[in-house]
Structure 1
Amino acid sequence: MNMHVNSIEAFLEALRQELEVPDHRYEQAEQSYTSLGRWLHREASTVRQYDPQVYCQGSFRLGTAIRPHTDAEEYDVDSVVELRLLTKREKTQRELKVMLGAEIKAYHDAMAMLKPVREGNRCWILDYADEAQFHMDIVPAVPNPDQQHRLLNSMHLDARWASTAISITDRREPNYKLLTADWPRSNPKGYANWFASRQAAVFERRQRAILDTLRKQGLVTASVERLPAFKVKTPLQSAIMILKRHRDNMFARELDMRPISVIITTLAAHAYDDQDTISGALFAILNDMDNFIVYDGSRWIVANPTDAMENFADKWNRDPAKKEAFDAWLRQARADFYSAAQAGTLKDMGDALNPRMGYALSMRAMDRLTGGSRLLRSASGASAVGAGSVAAPSFANEERRPSKPQGYA
């Protein structure tokens, strides 16, 4: 059996374009946390002395965010306010959160925002106007590189990403109101740097190619050396975006069982091997991602690559049904994308993916490729979007359990 590589690649690229967050949403998010940063540094700020730094984390930072299903849904923009000159010796988690919360509420009032500030377990939540279509989760934090270095080194674990480690607040923690060094740990900058390292060569090539094209079109000057990261999409980012929507639709009625994005993203980044096409990346990820799930004889482990003591799969061990849900999703994704790869027409590709990717999304992707022509949808993949074939992907069916946790002593 053969896969029409140009056809499936074109279809996946069209899906990615339909899922992609518009540039103005990235710019809007950046403007929002830049504005908050200016507020926190104003002369009257009660946290200015601690040198607050506001930055984005999560899928917006990684470039793997996807559009909501409808205009009624919102983008979730995750951010951190790191008070770089504050330490855990000076404030409790609760004191930090309350102090920052007062500034966020003052910012809310100064900006005449209508929806009230909400409090989450770890964060404050700013709800923007309906037309903005997003809310921002703001996590208070303080630097934690030294303690993180000591902790990881004492366990003989990889500490190379520890320089950007932070401690964050969580009102569910027993030490929340106590003055102690025992705070929840995080490292969104470190994770983003690790993720970037998994696709660095491809990202640089694509960035240069886009710049060269824009220069030839006279849209940027010769002196422009870099583009904003959100304007470049790698095969790894694209494959993750597609897999996340497939996951979302498969578990639309069982949200609590939905495999979490950080597991999909981490396993995908491990499995990615500098493929230059979305199809190459997607099938490599689907084939190999479960190789990076560790079973140590008593528990499942998907280690945080920047903090091997954090296990993203903790919930699998508390609720085995969540691990079973991940396995079911991976089997279904393999079956669906394999069927799409075998399809002889764009219509057949869409039919293979409609149940999980969504009928409307598949139709919009096909319209991108055919200009809305039903005749071209039913034409052979080769004649619709170009000839070419490679050996079809195959996926191992056996359960794979590496015997040694990667990144653990």
Structure 2
Amino acid sequence: MTSLPIPGLDRDVPALLVKVGRFPQQHGGLGVLRSLGRAGVPMFAMVEDRFTPAAVSRYLTGRFVSPTTGREDPQDLVERLLRMGREIGRRTVAVAADDEAAVLLAEHADLLSEWFALPSVAPELPRRLASKEGLHRICGEAGVDTPRSCAPRDLGELVAVGRTWGYPLVLKNLEAYTRLCAPVVSHTTMIRSEAELLALCGASRTPSVLVQEYIPVESTEVWATHLYCASDGTQVVFTGRKLRSWPPYSGMTSRGCAVPNPRLAELAGHLCRRIGYRGIADLDWLLDQRDGRFKLVDFNPRIGAQFRLFETVLGVDVVRALHLDLTGRRIPAAAQAQGRMFAVGQVDLLSAVAGAWHERRPPTALLPRRDLERAWLSGDDPMPAAAEAVRFSGTVARRLTKPLRKRMRG
């Protein structure tokens, strides 16, 4: 936990966590509440119900129970946000918790700016970056390496790609919003054969997916850059390693380590300068050890779920940098704090056990450390961890009893 106060932070300007889609167990949003709330900023949040982990945080000043699916008319969502702004009653910094929220805030900034302070990003840019196909094109124009990728127009072309490139392949949902409304995969997914591909996508004539080449796990290091690009061109850039993920090798970070990497920081900063990006971003990279190149696989125009892994030695993370910039305050220049780690509780334990089983070795990096930032458990904010434990247990129970419930219905 960071010592306070954060230099220059304006505690008279509240912040609102904006969410689109149902993600009640999203730990990144809780990190936003704790980051700014610990610094004395009044915090508000959109929540799915009154008992989500974020909704019971001690750092929450006010909650708006406003469940969404991503299928709503954007104008309806804008009206909801404007009502929230009026209820808060003063200009508020909006923090996007997901790609869809980032797209919504950017594309309707002209209306939302009545109540909300927002980064001055081009309205169309977050949607292009959140699109896997759009990102691939942007990287091609900017000279940034990516894994070989394509967006098949129909099922026949998808099958042809598999036969031409060979297996395994990696599939991702193609666009923001469609991943909520009509997802083809639940997360980045490795496909090992044509039969597996057809079992997953065969029901759709036009599956909305991006196909990427598979880079073998043993030939890669997984890196991340989290950064904030200010309106005056100032950048705060952090780099780190993804040590484990859930699901293993393809999902969200379950354990990460902050590792300064000047080469990667410059690469990410250059890309954002080149495209004129403003705001918070979370970029995922693969270091392909076969050619020594960093290859960009995702550009998320919003907070990353593990953003609390990263701080400067003065205690500034990307959310605090956003608040400082949008309230007209200077972002103090300082080096990245080294050696910090981040873990997502029981999910990291599952990942460690699964990885150890797959690699036939004992689990590693399980012991607690002084510089470990936990996604849920916190001595000064214990209720979210309790709420998450209840929901996690319910999820496990439903999955374990799913076969039995199917047989009973049959």
Q: Provide the TM-score with structure 1 as the length reference.
A: 0.30
Point out which structure has higher relative CO (alpha carbons under 8 A, 6+ apart).
Answer: 1
Q: Provide the TM-score with structure 2 as the length reference.
A: 0.30
